[in-house]
Amino acid sequence: MALSIRHSVSDLTSAHLPLRWRNCKLSAILELIGVPSPIRGRIPKHHISEVVAGSAAWLGRGLSCVCAQRRVGDARLIFDLTPTQKECLQRLHNRIDIAYDSSIHEHQEALMDLWNAAFPGEELCGLISEQWKEMGWQGKDPSTDFRGCGLLSLENLLYFARSFPKSFQDLLHKLEGNRAIWEYPFAVAGVNITFMLIQMLDLESIKPRNLVGATFLKFLAENESAFDLLYCIAFKLMDQQWLAMRASYMDFNTVIKATRRQLEKEILLEDVSRLEDLPSYNLLSR
């Protein structure tokens, strides 16, 4: 279904647009769908020649065709990746594909590094130990919990511990706020956040098909640790949502969904050009 030809920029927040395109900036849409920069600059700010909300339509006279495939109400973007974006995305896909293997020495070392970062000075009896439950793993062997997201979820936790040790410790030991009697398990929550981000950014596809995922590629091209950094932001934001909702263990899925909605909203804000510009980044402490 094509929309009317003359829409003001203010109409970007109206019900005319697909849900994932509402409240997002016109410049981002034009860039992501491949409108050349010189042409973008000549489009009047107070008009959009044509907005897409169907299988195919034209954005402006003489511009390239923009296809937005819809599935279950979502707008799907088709756009070209820059060579840098392709390389960074492929490396991230490679990371996602690596399963945790307890027989690989490097994987064992990473797990030991995580323990030492979480509990400095406390000796771990072994890679299989009841001590792991102190971190919020379901059993004495963390490798069984990594099956959902593989090595990436371990790397995310380790990045968090090393880059933002104060926030990591605050969340691990639940040091902030009025906590529930039945709290979320820290480590398992971390694995779930990795999985949530993969879905939110549509990273199981060859390339993202939604505006949030496409916008993330710009961050990734400038910072190859962008996924790990977004993970830290998401974890801290999730805990803030948890406290604000006065949640308990059975509310975890609801909190994760609220966290995802807030992240999507922030990523598409007009003044966000890097992950450090996200409002929720300021929740983190080193």
pLDDT in tens, 165-196: 999 999 999 999 999 999 999 999 999 999 99
pLDDT class of 80 with cuts at 50, 70, 90: confident
Q: Mean pLDDT over residues 144-158, rounded?
A: 93
Take residue 182 and report the two structure tokens written for it.
């039945």
When mean pLDDT is compared over 5-14, 47-56, 262-271, the highest value belongs to: 262-271
Cα–Cα dist 48/70, whole Å: 21
Cα–Cα dist 258/112, whole Å: 32
pLDDT value at residue 28: 55
Q: DSSP labels for 132-200? A: GGGGT-SSS-GGGTGGGTTHHHHHHHHHHHHH-HHHHHHHHTT-SS---SSPPPHHHHHHHHHHHHHHH
pTM of the model: 0.75
Q: Mean pLDDT over residues 80-88, rounded?
A: 93
pLDDT value at residue 41: 52
pLDDT class of 33 with cuts at 50, 70, 90: very low
Please state which of the ranges 58-67, 162-171, 224-233, 258-267 shows the lowest mean pLDDT. 58-67
Residue 4 has pLDDT above 50, yes or no: no
Residue 267 has pLDDT above 70, yes or no: yes
The packing angle between helices 186-200 and 252-267, to 10°, is 40
